[in-house]
Structure 1
Amino acid sequence: MAQTASTIPIALTIAGTDPSGGAGIQADLKTFSALGAYGATVITALVAQNTMGVRSIHDVPPQFIAEQMASVFDDLDVKAVKIGMLSRPEVIETVAAGLERYNSGTVVLDPVMVAASGDRLLVPEAVEALRTVLIPKALIITPNIPEAAALLDAPLAENEADMIAQAETLLDLGCRAVLVKGGHGLGPQSVDILLSDEGLSRFPARRISTQNTHGTGCTLSSAICAELAKGRSLTESVSAAKAYISAAIEASDLLSVGKGHGPVHHFHALWR
Structure 2
Amino acid sequence: MNQYPAQLPPPIVLTFAASDPSGGAGLQADLLTIASLGCHPVSVTTALTVQDTVGVASILAVEADWVEDQARTLLEDMPVAAFKIGLMGSAENMQVIAEIVADYPSVPLVLDPVLASGRGDELADEEMIATLREMLLPLTTILTPNSLEARRLADEDQGDEALTLDECAQRLLAQGCQYVLLTGTHDNTPRVVNSLYGRESGLLRSDVWDRLPGSYHGSGCTLASAVAAHLARGMAARDAVQSAQDYTWQALAAGFRLGMGQYLPDRLFRLRAHDRLRNG
Shorter-chain TM band:
over 0.9
1:109-153 deviations in whole A, cap 9, x for unaligned? 111000112111112211110001111000011110000111122
2:108 partner amino acid: T
Question: What's 1:267 paired with?
Answer: 268
| Residue 221 of structure 2 is aligned to residue 215 of structure 1 | no
Matched residue, 2:140: 138
1:155 aligns with 2:156: no
- The whole-number CA distance in structure 2 between the counterparts of 1:187 and 1:31 is 27
User: 225, 240, 247: which is aligned to 1:237?
Assistant: 240
Partner of 2:249: 246
Asked if the contact 2:81–2:107 (Cα under 8 Å) also holds between the matched residues in 1, the reply is no
Superposition pairs for residues 13-24 of structure 1, below 5 Å? 13-24=15-26
| 1:127 correspondence with 2:144 | no
8 Å CA contact 2:214–2:263 kept in 1: the answer is no
Rounded to whole Å, the distance in 1 between the matches of 2:73 and 2:105 is 15
Unaligned 5+ segments in structure 2 are 274-280
Question: Which amino acid in the other structure matches residue 163 of structure 1?
Answer: L
Matched AA of 2:261:
G
Report the equivalent of 1:31.
33
Alpha-carbon RMSD across the aligned residues, in angstroms, is 1.4
The equivalent position to 2:177 in structure 1, one of 151, 172, 175, is 175
Higher alpha-carbon deviation: 117-126 or 76-85: 117-126
Instruction: Summarize the alignment of residues 4-153 of structure 1 with structure 2, pairs less than 5 Å apart.
Output: 4-103=6-105, 105-153=107-155
Matched with 2:186 is 184
Question: Which of these two proteins has the greater Rg computed from alpha carbons?
Answer: 2
* TM-score (normalised: structure 1): 0.94
Instruction: Label 1:88 to 1:156 Cα distance change in 2 as closer, same or farther (>3 A).
Output: farther
Deviates more, 1:1-10 or 1:52-61: 1-10
Rounded Cα–Cα distance in structure 2 between residues aligned with 1:88 and 1:59: 6
* Segments of 4+ moved more than 4 angstroms: none
Report how many aligned residue pairs link the two structures: 265
**Equivalent position amino acid for 1:266 in 2:** R
Letter in 1 for 2:220: G
